Structure 1
Amino acid sequence: MKVRVPLIFTSILLLSACASSPQEKVAPHTPVAASAFVHHYRCESGETISTTYSSTGSATVQYKGSHYKMQIAVSGSGSRYVGGGLEWWTKGSGPGSEGSLFHHMADGTSGKSIERCTGS
C-alpha cells in the first residue's frame, strides 16, 4: 500500500527546516576562536566598534558595551553582516578601511545610519 503525505504537511516541513531564529545579543565575554580575527574601528561620533570576524561567515560586533552576533548577508559592494536589529557594512581591510552601522529593517533593507567609522 502506498502512503501519501498531504502537500500541506510536506510544505510545512520544508518551511520549518528553512526557518532561522532571530539574532540576539551574545554574552559580553565570548572567547575568540583561533580562526577568528578582531578589527577595530574609530567612528565619527568618537565611539569605537570592535568586530570579531570568524571564518564561518559570521561576525560579532561590539558597540557601546553590547555584543551583536551577525551573519554574512548579500551586498552589492563590500561585506554586510546582519543581526540583532543592526547591519554592519565594511569595505576594505586594515587601517583606513570603512565601516558603517545601520538599523536593520524588518523588510530586509537598511534603515537609518547609526555610525560611520574608519579602521585603525
Structure 2
Amino acid sequence: MIRPLFVAGLAVLALAACEKKTEAPKPAPTPDNLAQTPPPATPAAAEPKQIVYACADGSVLKATYPDDKTAVIDYGDKTRTLTVAMSASGARYVGEGLQWWTKGMTEGMVAPLKDGEDVASAKPVECMAPSDAGK
C-alpha cells in the first residue's frame, strides 16, 4: 500500500516540475508609462587624449587622436586634420601640407609637405613628449 502511494507522489512531483509557469503580461507602452521609464544608459564616448610635444626647434606640437585613422595637430599657428598614411614603421599622418610621423606616443617628427609630395622631402623636426604620454 505504501509503494503505490510513493509512486503516485513521485508522479505528482514530476508533473509539478514540468508545469510551465507563466508570468503576468507586461502592460503595453503608453505615453504615461514611457515618461516614467528612464531611457537606457548609453556609454559615453571616450575623450580623445591630447599629447603635448616639445620640438627640437623650440616649438610646441599638440596631437589629438580622435580615432585610429586621424590626428589633429596644433602646430605653429594652425590646427590641421591629418589622416593615416602608409609607413614602414610607426604611425604616419599626412594632410593640409604637413607630415606627422610618430614612433610610440613619446617620439615624433614633423615636416612640411610640398605640393605633390606623398612623403615629406624636407628635413623633419624631432619632437618629444613626456615619457608617460601614452598612458
Contact 1:41 1:117 in 2 (8 A): yes
Normalising by structure 2, we get a TM-score of 0.57
1:28-67 to 2 correspondences below 5 Å: 34-67=46-79
Normalising by structure 1, we get a TM-score of 0.64
- Give 4+ residue runs of structure 1 displaced > 2 Å after superposition: none
Q: Does 1:104 align with 2:113?
A: yes
Letter in 2 for 1:48: V
Distance in 2 separating the partners of 1:46 and 1:65: 14
Deviation at 1:107, TM superposition (A): 3.7
Question: 1:111 aligns to what SS in structure 2?
Answer: coil
Percent identity (aligned): 32
Letter in 2 for 1:70: L
More contact order relative to length (CA 8 Å, sep ≥ 6): 1
Contact 2:110 2:125 in 1 (8 A): yes
Gap runs ≥5 in structure 1: 1-32
Q: Tell me what 2:91 maps to.
A: 79
Deviation at 1:65, TM superposition (A): 2.1
The CA deviation string for residues 7-66 of structure 1, in whole angstroms up to 9 with x for no partner, is: xxxxxxxxxxxxxxxxxxxxxxxxxx7442111100111111000111241011001121
Q: What value does the CA root-mean-square deviation take over the aligned residues? A: 1.6
The CA deviation string for residues 90-111 of structure 1, in whole angstroms up to 9 with x for no partner, is: 0012xxx211011224141222
Going from structure 1 to structure 2, the CA distance change for 1:47 and 1:58 (only over 3 Å counts) comes to same
Question: 2:122 aligns to what SS in structure 1?
Answer: strand
Going from structure 1 to structure 2, the CA distance change for 1:107 and 1:42 (only over 3 Å counts) comes to closer
Match of 1:69 among 76, 81, 91: 81
**Structure in which a larger fraction of residues adopt strand:** 1
Question: 2:50 aligns to what SS in structure 1?
Answer: strand
Work out the number of aligned pairs and report it.
85
